[in-house]
């Protein structure tokens, strides 16, 4: 059995006209639809700020500016039938290329090479049945004025 451990993540909120950029995915076991901002694991020896820049560059091939830490969340969850535990550094930033904000969907690649499509969603997209994850992120973004 694989060792259970706490994972450190960095996620980035890109917002525009009351919407945020998220990846929509489905839990393979529960079939629940979830939405998550872009980002990923923090590697040993890198800061969370460096991790988010690397992740966005790797996933979308895009650069960012005006990076700012919004907060930290602790997330306990079940995904793919297995328990998970994460500490998540949540950043806010802007894309250097303003043309990105005109695109309804942005093609990306996961670290394993599988494609995904990120899209802009407002708060009406998120519910208990199709949440914005990790837990607590919706409230953090509302408090920070990123979602209404």
pLDDT in tens, 89-145: 999 999 999 999 999 999 999 888 899 999 999 999 999 999 999 999 999 999 999
Reported pTM: 0.93
Say which residues have a Cβ less than 8 Å from residue 1's Cβ, sequence separation at least 6: none
- Rounded to whole angstroms, how far apart are CA atoms 86 and 2? 16
Q: 7-143 belongs to which homologous superfamily? A: Nucleoside Triphosphate Pyrophosphohydrolase (3.90.79.10)
1 pLDDT band, cuts 50/70/90, is: low
* Residue 68, CA distances (Å) to 20, 49, 56, 64 in order: 15, 9, 15, 11
Q: Which residues pair with 38 in a beta bridge?
A: 12
Task: Give me the residue spans of the domains in the chain.
Answer: 7-143
Strand 7-13 to 82-95 pairing: parallel
- What residue spans of the chain are helical by DSSP H? 48-60, 137-143
With beta carbons less than 8 A apart as the criterion, state whether 58 and 38 touch.
no
């Amino acid at each position: 059995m694989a060792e259970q451990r706490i994972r450190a993540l960095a996620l980035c909120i890109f917002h525009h006209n009351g919407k945020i950029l998220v990846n929509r995915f489905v839990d393979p076991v529960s079939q629940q639809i979830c939405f998550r901002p872009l980002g990923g694991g923090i590697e040993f020896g890198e800061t969370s700020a460096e991790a988010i820049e690397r992740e966005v560059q790797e996933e979308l091939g895009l650069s960012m500016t005006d990076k700012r830490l919004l907060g930290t969340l602790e997330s306990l969850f079940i995904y793919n039938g297995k328990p998970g535990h994460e500490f998540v550094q949540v950043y806010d930033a802007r894309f250097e290329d303003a043309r990105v904000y005109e695109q309804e969907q942005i093609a990306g690649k996961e670290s394993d090479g599988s494609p995904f499509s990120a899209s802009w969603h407002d708060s009406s997209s998120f519910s208990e049945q199709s949440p914005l994850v990790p837990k607590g992120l919706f409230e953090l973004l509302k408090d920070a004025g990123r979602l209404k």
